């Protein structure tokens, strides 16, 4: 059921927040822990039913706070909740870590009346520990499986949230992204994923990777549900100065922009340089493009949006900036935990991992951690110059320039190819293709919705645009979704192609 349908049933008295929560808890036990054993949920909120009861009383006595009132939400396990649940980034090094207070995202969701049902598994440390990491695997949570073909990877790093949403273990979920970590698993699991403009959603209380790129964002089965969740997450947060940029540019209700006729008159550029890695993927996306034409969109095909890699020197500088941002941000995060964490620094985490190598590093190492620990601190002017140069290449000289040149409303591309096999021996899983980098580098919004299937494996189509253009992207994505209604639920097949 959608959020709107759940609200209608709770308003009529047919359901209550407690009943809805109980049904999701039963499904998690049946599907995630038993049944196909997806391994999407890493921890459940022991207070969920009590919270649901209090929200039911409030509904009767005062009415609802918002469309999220009584709606169960799953958070990725790098998002703090100031309750009895841990926040670990999937790492055994942080097991036992209880956040002293909610992240701003969790706080906003509680204020909206949402029920934080639990935490979801992820690629350990949000895929920022070792070079050959396995998407969806963490030392705390194990391996999350793709529900469309259980021997396939769900992509990452927001693997658990994507699978939880796809298999109806919750209404909606919150993932995080630095580069592709929301949109890629959303594509692989046939759900909607929104990577917002950096600064639209606060990062305070979220285990960090990159201050210049990190953001949290919604994952849902429908564009409407994603829009409802996004509106509940926005707001200026004094603890995250970047959110000041969203003042006057954010909304608490993004459903205002959902228009089934939203394609009419839109100018859409096709970034063909992100095509060509598989003819079958291209065929699915080209089918979506034909549907957009039928809906009244003007298609400009092709437009050239290059992945902004610039020079090898800049690439090397960017890698160092990433590690610098991670180490600085992690140090600050751990200091806020006080005595709640058994590790106090990146070095202590590295030492813990070495001491528990068999459990923590059976499949891949911690090369990124080691490099970050050895790096010398960056000078502020050097750091700012590299971040600004990266954003210029991807933003002003990239997405902005192409949209201005062709007077576009959005640029589209395949989100990625179909998910690969889980292979612990050769670490063979690699995504085919991918279009997440330009919007990630620029700090711009990116939305993916289901586009179709290849041998039963989901494929997504991506839309991106300039800063704070979420309303426009939601309008276009909603119009295509409503016209095609392409998404179908997973069947938990043992491997791909059995339904053919």
Active site residues: 76, 157, 181
- Of 316, 335, 330, 314, give the one whose Cα is nearest residue 369: 330
Contact 178, 368 (CB under 8 A): no
C-alpha separations of 429 from 121, 188, 421, 438 in Å: 18, 13, 6, 23
Q: N- to C-terminal Cα distance for the chain?
A: 28
**Measured distance CA(137)–CA(494) in Å, rounded:** 19
Longest dimension (CA), the chain: 62
- CA atoms in the 13 A half-sphere facing the CB of 391: 15
- Of 55, 74, 46, 73, give the one whose Cα is nearest residue 15: 55
**Measured distance CA(288)–CA(126) in Å, rounded:** 31
Residue keyed to tokens 């800049």: 314
Phi-psi region of 96 (alpha: psi -120 to 50; beta: other; left: phi over 0): left
**Measured distance CA(415)–CA(275) in Å, rounded:** 10
Q: Provide, for the chain, the percentages of residues in helix, strand and coil under a 3-state DSSP scheme, each rounded to the nearest 5.
A: 40, 15, 45
Q: How many other C-beta atoms are found inside a 10 Å radius of the C-beta of residue 430?
A: 10
**Measured distance CA(323)–CA(110) in Å, rounded:** 33
- Give 444's contacts (C-beta < 8 A, 6+ positions apart): 197, 394, 395, 399, 438, 464, 465, 466, 467, 469
Joined tokens for residue 385: 């110059």
Spell out the alpha helix ranges (H) of 218-345. Answer: 223-233, 279-294, 312-337
117 phi/psi in degrees, rounded to 5: -80, -30
Q: To 10 degrees, the CA torsion angle through 64, 65, 66, 70?
A: -70
C-alpha separations of 419 from 89, 153, 341 in Å: 22, 6, 35
**Measured distance CA(273)–CA(223) in Å, rounded:** 26
């Amino acid at each position: 059921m959608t959020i709107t349908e759940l609200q209608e049933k709770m308003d009529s008295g047919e359901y209550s927040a407690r009943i809805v929560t109980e049904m999701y808890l039963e499904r998690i036990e049946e599907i995630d822990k038993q049944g196909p054993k997806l391994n999407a949920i890493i921890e459940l909120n022991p207070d969920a039913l009590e919270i649901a009861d209090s929200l039911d009383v409030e509904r009767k006595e005062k009415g609802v706070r918002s469309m999220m009132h009584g709606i169960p939400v799953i958070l990725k396990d790098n998002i703090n909740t100031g309750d009895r649940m841990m926040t670990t980034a999937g790492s055994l090094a942080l097991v036992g870590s209880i956040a002293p207070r909610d992240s701003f995202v969790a706080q906003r969701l509680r204020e909206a009346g949402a029920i934080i049902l639990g935490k979801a598994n992820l690629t350990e440390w949000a895929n920022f520990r070792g070079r050959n990491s396995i998407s969806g695997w963490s030392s705390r949570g194990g391996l999350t499986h793709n529900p469309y073909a259980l021997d396939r990877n769900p992509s990452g790093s927001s693997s658990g949230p994507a699978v939880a949403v796809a298999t109806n273990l919750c209404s909606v979920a919150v993932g995080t992204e630095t580069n592709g970590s929301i949109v890629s698993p959303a594509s692989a699991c046939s759900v909607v994923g929104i990577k917002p403009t950096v600064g639209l959603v606060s990062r305070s209380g979220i285990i960090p990777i990159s201050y210049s790129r990190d953001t949290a964002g919604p994952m849902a089965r429908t564009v409407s549900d994603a829009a409802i969740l996004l509106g509940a997450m926005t707001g200026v947060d004094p603890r995250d100065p970047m959110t000041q940029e969203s003042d006057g540019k954010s909304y608490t209700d993004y459903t205002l922009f959902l228009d089934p006729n939203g394609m009419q008159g839109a100018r859409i550029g096709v970034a063909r340089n992100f095509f060509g890695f598989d003819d079958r993927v291209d065929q699915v996306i080209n089918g979506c493009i034909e549907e957009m034409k039928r809906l009244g969109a003007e298609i400009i095909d092709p437009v050239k949006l290059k992945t902004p890699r610039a020079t090898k020197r800049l690439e090397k500088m960017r890698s160092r900036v990433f590690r610098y941002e991670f180490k600085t941000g992690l140090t600050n995060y751990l200091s806020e935990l006080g005595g709640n964490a058994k590790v106090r620094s990146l070095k202590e985490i590295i030492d813990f991992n070495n001491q528990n190598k068999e459990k923590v590093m059976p499949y891949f190492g911690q090369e990124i951690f080691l490099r970050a620990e050895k790096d010398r601190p960056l000078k502020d002017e050097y750091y700012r110059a590299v971040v600004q140069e990266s954003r210029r290449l991807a933003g002003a000289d990239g997405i902005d320039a192409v949209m201005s040149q062709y007077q576009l409303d959005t640029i589209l591309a395949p989100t990625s190819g179909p998910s690969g096999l889980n292979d612990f021996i050769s670490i063979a899983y690699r995504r085919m293709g991918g279009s997440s980098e330009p919007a990630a580098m620029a700090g711009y919004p990116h939305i993916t919705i289901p586009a179709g299937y290849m041998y039963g494996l989901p494929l997504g189509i991506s839309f991106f645009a300039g800063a704070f253009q979420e309303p426009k992207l939601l309008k276009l994505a909603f119009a295509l979704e409503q016209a095609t209604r392409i998404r179908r639920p997973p069947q938990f097949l043992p491997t791909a192609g059995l339904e053919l």
